[in-house]
Chains A and B, each alone.
Chain A
Amino acid sequence: MNNFYRDRIKSLLFGNRTSYGLVFNILLYVLLIAIGFVYLYPLLFMFVTSLKSPSDLLNPMVQWVPTELFLGNYEKALRVLDYPTTLSASILVSLVPSLIQAVVCSLVGYGLARYRFFGKNLLFALILATFIIPAQNTVIPQMLTYRELGLLGNVFSLILPAMMGQGFKSAIFILIFYQTFQSMPKVLEEAARLDGATDIKIFIKIALPAAVPAFIISIIFSTVWYWNETFLTVIFLEGGVQTLPMQLSKFVQAYENLYPPGMVNIFDRLNEAVKLAGTFLNILPLLLMYFILQKWFVESIERSGITGE
């Protein structure tokens, strides 16, 4: 009898075949919560600081809980960022190239997965090379060409490379589509071919509908990456289309244009709360998108398995 209880307690604490045990579980949650907190710390810091009024900022007693709900920083940041304009610009700049890029990459991925032809390995090597080559090794001649064509500051300077499979991180998406098509059974396509369907028709009618998860994951990821990209957008779009991150990197300057330092009272000077409110507004659309689509973000990767084997 004594032994029985000892075993029960032991298995409760240290686990058995069906559960991990209490000790392990507590350790797991403590670790996960600790790491999760470290992960979220910058975001929490940003959010809390952005709600602080100027007097809260100066008050060393106020650390994590502001004394009042102060939205003045957001009012200012919205004006400084010129939010409606830059937001719609960002949506345009990130969504359109992503959609085009996904279509082109699916074509290339299908060609690589389904057809045998000479030079395929070389092609794979080149696709990998486009992933490795840093942008600054190719960007200046492109910029000069766009200047000649009058495309600088125009969204087309980002759409054109995407149309040719040379968009931002295109190589990854080609590999995702390659894997997706590679892992699909060929039977349906062969049957369709025997029935006299053309290759294009097979691709559109059979392969594409089965690759919807790959499309979703590609579009989501490349939208996020295009949204966050600033190196290329600054070079290609400066002077024309102004995206949110571009405006954020000029925040101080833009703020001082609206609220000249000598002209406004001390509470309207630029402080870190306003800056962080701007930063938060910058990532807010992505956060919303992430929380709405987060199932797709995480699960589609697990399902499509981009492990590159």
Chain B
Amino acid sequence: MKSGKGIRSREMKHSTREALYGYSFVMIWIIGFLIFTLVPLVETFLYSMNQVTVSATGIDLTFVRWDNYSRALFTDPTFVASIIEYVVETLVSVPIIIIFSLIIAMFLNLKFRFKGFFRTIFFLPVVITSGPVIQELTAQGATSVPEIANSAVVANFLTELPNSLRNPVQYLLTSFILILWFSGVQILIYLSSLQKIDRSIYEAAAIDGASPWEAFWKITLPSLSTTTLIIAVYTIITLSHFSENRIIKYIYGQTYAVQGGIGYASAMSFLYFAVLVLLLAIVYLLLNSRAKNTFR
């Protein structure tokens, strides 16, 4: 009885000690999270419910309840329009990036000469995509293939399309290279998961008479379902955080505008955040159920 108790208390002590050391390793992050994320987040939320005026001595808040939110949603035509455009553009870009990076990763997973050279090229954009650079390149027309985007055939084709379809297609044509430029990290993630798939599965399938085509659908894709989910989430977040994103620019502009102000900008930030979370949730549910089904 006595000895049993002793062991138990020593075990308790060990696990407490472990927890204490664990906490001391992550403590700096927790403090940082409180100071640099949670408190500013709550403060921004407070601003979003107030009319904020910045003076030399500090900031003055006038409580306006949900006025900033209803203004963004119901009276500001630019905000709602750009949110819709953002959602459409994201939904167009994400599948393209996923498919493109998977194809490139499968190419790079083959054995051929000059592999290092091509790998260097496909990964290059990660290094150089910054807001101002992209802005300059887009302004000079370097991000679209001009022969396609400006040709008469395409222009005619575009005018024939209904309005809801025209914008995504136009976006696709004018910023096709840009979309591809966002797939550098994704290619690498796919490549490293491709290399983790056991080669013997393919050999077994080949012996059983499976064609490479079948092997791709039955072995490769199911093994990559988790990776695809990660890539989709990563892509959405990168696109949504990119500083040339129209909504981020609009919100930033409104922060210092006479008409807008910090309160209004904060409200829009939260609405944008909500839309982003919603998008992520939809993609997660979509891909996660797929991921589960394929393993069943």
Contacts and interface: CB of A to CB of B under 8 A. Distances in A.
B9 interface: no
Interface in A1-55: 20, 25, 28-29, 31-32, 35-36, 38-43, 45-46, 49
Interface string B115-131: 00011111111111111
Nearest to A20: B110
A229 B165 CA distance: 33
A166 B31 CA distance: 10
B148 to A, nearest CB: 11
A287 interface: yes
A46 B143 CA distance: 10
B229 to A, nearest CB: 9
A279 interface: yes
B19 A133 contact: no
A298 B188 contact: yes
Contacts of A65: none
Contact of A133 (B35, B41, B243): B41
A36 B126 contact: no
A248 B133 contact: yes
Interface residues on A, range: 35 or more
Given A166-B33, A307-B189, A283 B128 contact: yes
B273 A133 contact: yes
Nearest to A169: B241
B292 to A, nearest CB: 15
Interface of B: 15, 18-19, 21-26, 28-33, 35-37, 39-41, 43-44, 47, 54, 59, 104, 107, 110, 112, 118-133, 135-137, 139-140, 142-143, 145, 176-177, 180-181, 188-189, 191-193, 195-196, 226-227, 230, 237, 240-241, 243, 248, 251-252, 255, 262, 265-266, 269-270, 272-273, 276-277, 280
15 contacts: A32-B118, A115-B25, A123-B29, A130-B37, A137-B266, A140-B255, A164-B35, A294-B120, A301-B188, A301-B192, A302-B192, A305-B192, A306-B189, A307-B226, A308-B226
Interface of A: 20, 25, 28-29, 31-32, 35-36, 38-43, 45-46, 49, 104, 107-108, 110-112, 114-118, 120, 123, 126-127, 129-142, 144, 160-161, 163-166, 174, 199, 203, 224, 227-231, 245-246, 248-249, 251, 272, 275-276, 278-279, 282-283, 286-287, 289-291, 294, 297-298, 301-302, 305-309
